[in-house]
Every structure is written in structure tokens, then in C-alpha cells.
Amino acid sequence: MTDPSTRQSADRRMVVAAAQLGPVQLEESRESAVTRLVTMLRTAAARGAEFVVFPELAFTTFFPRWWNEDQDEVDARFFESSMPSPDTQPLFDTARDLGVGFYVGYAELVPADQSPDGRTRRFNTAILVAPNGEIIGKYRKIHLPGHADHKPEAAFQHLEKRYFEVGDLGFPVYRFMDALVGMLICNDRRWPEAYRVLGLQGAEMVTLGYNTPTENLHYPEPPAQRVAQHLLMAQAMAYQNAVWVVQSAKAGFENGFRMFGNSVIVAPTGEVVAKTTSEDDEVIVHDCDLSLGDDLRRTMFNLEAHRRPEHYGLIVERTGVRITPANEI
Ligand code: CDT
């Protein structure tokens, strides 16, 4: 365990990129998607990036929008049972050649014969890959949105609860190059608890890929409002945890279903320092001062000095709302 006061304070910087992917159509091959990621990795490296954040489920279309009862087909088309796999190896090779690390999301299948309980398992996963091409960290998405049942009346499905299990690795933080880095995936960004658990482990940068539909599945909502909420969350979570936030979208029309872009890099001050403007493949880069959050962590958000966990019990004891007015108990 490292004491927070022993962070190295010398000029610690990391040039970071968010590499947003435009749409990946259902028909597009994994090989083609990986070629696009490799192109963006090269673009980011040419602009000085040392670390590139790619989206959630980056090698395929966002398949949870379709109901499919043929699990073998789903597994074959969308899941990876090894990483790197033959299709994804070029991304790892290019990263190693360029000396650039990356975060990428994919659908992970753990075959029954490799699973401790002998069950095939499926997760929505992100990995952290070092500049030498080695996988040094893994996160399996914990806040799975949507539903598990078929909703034929809906314009589209959001079947993450059908296709994936809840992640079983917690919220780990990794020492990555010169920084302490945590990973989240898409819907996790709506849950302050996820960020706080990373903050309590000293995270200085939180990386996250997402696929967010422009339309609300559940009720009509103006798309601009959805983007405003996305930016609001990124800025609030960055500031309240004094972390850099790097969020990368898969965006645009996939087989007619639109997802918003607005990939962002947010400073620990809560300010947006870079943002995409398209719904296509697009790279944004920022030279991050890793010590920028230190003043906040020392003062306003000195967690050791100011948190009161003795009053936060409900957060872990209770999942949903139970109305308990203090004057009615
Ligand atoms: N991929 C993902 O987690 N998307 C969710 C939308 C869920 S809508 C039922 C998000 O929070 O962006």
C-alpha cells in the first residue's frame, strides 16, 4: 500500500488520447474494425500520445441492441475467447511497435474448461495494455444497463443483462506508466459509487469506453439533454474525485440506430479540455499534468480528513429506495 502523500510530485505528465470510433455495422468484420483502431493508434502516436483510450465493445457493432436466441452465433460473431486473438493481434503489435499503451473494451467469453466453476461465462470487459503490448489490467463491467427479456414492441433492445454477467473483479486501480489508472465501462459513469471506489484507491485517471444510444429506450427525451447529462457526469465525477477522466465513444448510425459521440477528456478541475465534434473515427489528444488534482486531494477532497463513512452505511446496506421519513419511524 502506498501512502497518498508519497506520490511523486515531480513534473508527471501523460499525453493521452481518446480514439472515438464511428459506427461499426453488423456486417463489418472484426478485422476491418481492428484496422480502423490501428489507424487511430498511429494518428494518436503521431500527435504524441502515450496512452490511447478506445470505446466499449470496440471490435464489433453494439450487438446487445438485437435479440438473438442462437447463443452459438452470438458467441462466434461478437465474443472473444482469447485476448489477443488472431483478429486483434495487429492492435497489440502496433502498440508495441509504437510504444503506446491502450484501453479497449470487448465481449469476453471464458470457456467452460478455463472457468473455475466449469461454466461458460460472458462479460463486458475492458483491458489495460502496456506500451510493450502486455495486458496488465482487466475490468469487467459491473453496472449492466437495460433488460434481459425480449421487448418486441421497443424500437431497439438493450440486452446487456441477457448477454453478460455482472463483473466479478471489483474496481481495481493499476499503476500504469507514471499514473494510477482505473477503468470503468459506459453505464458505470452514471454511478458515483464506482468513481469513489476508484478514488479511494488513489486513482489519478479514470478511463471509460461507451456506446450510448441517442434515443432513450424507455421514454422520449431530447438527444441534446442526453448529451448534456453525459458531459455533466464526466465533469462532476472528475472534480469530485480529483481525477482525469478520459471517455471514448462508439458513435453514429449503426444499422440505422444512432449513438452520440462527444468523447471527452476532463481535467480534475472539472473542465473539459478536449472533445470530439463528429460521430466518426476521431482522435482527441491532451497533455495531462498528473499532479493537477493534488491540491484538491490535499484540501477540499482530502478523503481521509473529511469523509464520514460512519454515516454512509445505507450506501452498502441498501440497494434500492425504501421510503423512511425520519418523523414516521
Ligand atoms: N452501453 C451502455 O452501458 N449504455 C448505457 C445506455 C443504457 S440505455 C438502457 C449508458 O449508460 O450509456
Using the mean position of ligand 1's atoms as its centre, give its distance from the Cα of residue 160 in Å.
9
The ligand 1 atom at the shortest distance from the C-alpha of residue 143 is: 3
The protein residue with its alpha carbon nearest to ligand 1, atom 1, reads 211
* Ligand 1: nearest atom to the Cα of 57: 1
Contact call for residues 119 and 69 (beta carbons, < 8 A):
no
Question: 489495460: which residue's cell?
Answer: 128
Q: Which of 7-11, 134-138, 217-221 has the highest mean pLDDT?
A: 134-138
**Alpha-carbon span 257 to 156, nearest angstrom:** 8
**Residues 262/217, Cβ–Cβ less than 8 Å:** no
Q: What is the DSSP letter of 284?
A: E
Q: What's at 68, amino acid-wise?
A: N
For the Cβ of 210 lying below 6 angstroms from any atom of ligand 1, the answer is yes
**How far does residue 320's CA lie from ligand 1's centre (Å)?**
19
Q: Which three cell numbers stand for residue 328?
A: 414516521
Closest residue (by CA) to atom 6 of ligand 1?
212
Q: How far does the chain reach from its first CA to its final CA, in angstroms?
A: 43
Section 73-78 average pLDDT: 98
Confidence at 101, pLDDT banded by 50, 70, 90: very high
For ligand 1, whether the C-beta of 145 sits within 6 Å is yes
Q: What is the mean pLDDT of the chain?
A: 96
The pLDDT score that the predictor gives to residue 3 is: 55
Cα(209) to centroid(ligand 1), Å = 11
Average pLDDT of the segment spanning 219-244: 98
Whether the model pTM is above 0.85? yes
The DSSP output letter for 21 is B
Q: Three cell numbers at 297?
A: 486531494
pLDDT level of residue 1 (50, 70, 90 thresholds): low
Containing 274, the helix (H) or strand (E) segment is strand 272-275
Q: pLDDT > 90: what percent of the chain?
A: 96
Q: Which atom of ligand 1 is nearest to the CA of 230?
A: 12
Decide if 288 is catalytic: no
Average pLDDT, integer, range 4-17: 75
Tell me how far apart the alpha carbons of residues 31 and 268 are, in angstroms, rounded to a whole number: 36
Quick check: is 141 catalytic?
A: yes
Averaged pLDDT for residues 301-323 = 97
- Determine if ligand 1 sits within 6 Å of the CB of residue 177: no
Residues 108-125 have pLDDT tens digits of: 999 999 999 999 999 999
Q: Dihedral sign, CA of 93, 185, 236, 228? A: positive
Predicted pLDDT of residue 11: 85
Q: Is the predicted pLDDT of residue 214 greater than 90, yes or no?
A: yes
Look at residue 6 in the predicted model and tell me its pLDDT: 52
Name the least confident of 2-6, 168-172, 217-221: 2-6
DSSP 211-253: --BSS-SSS---HHHHHHHHHHHHHHHHHHHT-EEEEEEB-EE
For residue 61 and ligand 1, the question of a CB distance below 6 A is answered with no
- 231 C-beta closer than 6 A to ligand 1: no
Answer yes or no: is the C-beta of 307 below 6 A from any ligand 1 atom: no
Banded pLDDT at 7 (limits 50, 70, 90)? low
CA gap 302, 192 in Å, rounded: 17
Which grid cell sits at 213? Answer: 444510444
Does the Cβ of 209 fall within 6 Å of ligand 1?
no
Which atom of ligand 1 is nearest to 212's Cα?
12
Per-residue pLDDT, 134: 98
Which residue, by CA, sits nearest to atom 9 of ligand 1?
A: 146
Evaluate if residue 201 carries a pLDDT over 60. yes
Q: Which residues pair with 109 in a beta bridge?
A: 122
Active site residue 275: no
Determine how β-strand 13-20 pairs with β-strand 252-254.
unpaired
Q: Is the pLDDT of residue 24 over 70?
A: yes
Q: What is the pLDDT of residues 246-285, one digit of tens each?
A: 999 999 999 999 999 999 999 999 999 999 999 999 999 9
Average pLDDT over residues 22-38: 98
Say if ligand 1 is within 6 A of residue 187 CB.
yes
The angle at the Cα of 288, spanning 229 to 213, to the nearest 5 degrees, equals 25
> Which pLDDT band, with edges at 50, 70 and 90, does 329 fall under?
confident
Helices marked H in 272-312:
294-298, 303-306
CA dist 43 and 40 (Å) reads: 5
Give nearest CA residue, ligand 1 atom 12.
212
Instruction: Please determine, for residue 142, whether its predicted confidence score (pLDDT) is greater than 80.
Output: yes
Q: Which of 80, 160, 186, 275 is catalytic?
A: 186
Task: Set out the domains of the chain in order of their start, with CATH numbers.
Answer: 13-317 (3.60.110.10)
Q: Whose alpha carbon is nearest atom 4 of ligand 1?
A: 212
Torsion of CA 171, 175, 178, 180, to 10 degrees: 30
| Confidence tier at 14 by pLDDT (50, 70, 90) | very high
Ligand 1: distance of its center to the CA of 186 in Å?
6
Residue 9 scores a pLDDT above 80: no
